[in-house]
Amino acid sequence: FFDRVGEASKSMMSTLKVHMHLDASFGYRTLCFAMKELPHDRYAKWSADCKQANLKIDERQKTIDGCSEEIESNLDLVEATAIEDKLQEFVPETIQALMAADADGRQTRDGDQ
């Protein structure tokens, strides 16, 4: 997440990281919300490109990842929060197993960069 924010949000990143790592160290779920405004024509082109990427046979995942990278960059931080309910038993182990199976997902835990 931190590498996807734009210049306008970068000044808040060091403080945000400290707070998120502290909250995560207590076992709280941490969430960041970010956005990007897109002109309609840019969204339409991106959407069409993603539809084409999903239809590809060769290098489909690479093309889909490229579409995601294009839209998930230079984001503006909107909100960061921590949810007080602690993770259920075996959630970290389940996340590890999913990651080992190359399932796509992101999690920030205490100590992560």
Dihedral (C-alpha) 52, 45, 32, 91: value to the nearest 10 degrees?
A: -10
Q: How far apart are CA 23 and CA 8, in angstroms?
A: 24
Any domain includes 51: yes
Same domain, yes or no: 43 and 22: no
The structure tokens 């602690």 sit at 86
| Pair 8, 76: CB distance under 8 Å | yes
The structure tokens 């919300």 sit at 33
Any domain includes 102: yes
Any domain includes 45: yes
Q: How far apart are CA 75 and CA 89, in angstroms?
A: 33
Distances in Å between the Cα of 38 and the Cα atoms of 20, 22, 43, 50, 73 are 28, 33, 6, 15, 12
The fraction of the chain above a pLDDT of 90, given in percent, is 8
pLDDT at 41: 95
pLDDT at 87: 65
Q: How many domains, the chain?
A: 2
Residue 3 pLDDT > 80, yes or no?
A: no
Domain with 46 in it: 39-72
Identify the helix (H) or strand (E) that includes residue 83.
Answer: strand 76-86
Same domain, yes or no: 32 and 3: yes
Structure confidence by residue, pLDDT tens digits, 24-68: 888 888 888 888 888 999 999 999 998 988 888 888 889 888 888
Q: Please state the pTM of the whole predicted model.
A: 0.57
Same domain, yes or no: 1 and 29: yes
Same domain, yes or no: 1 and 31: yes
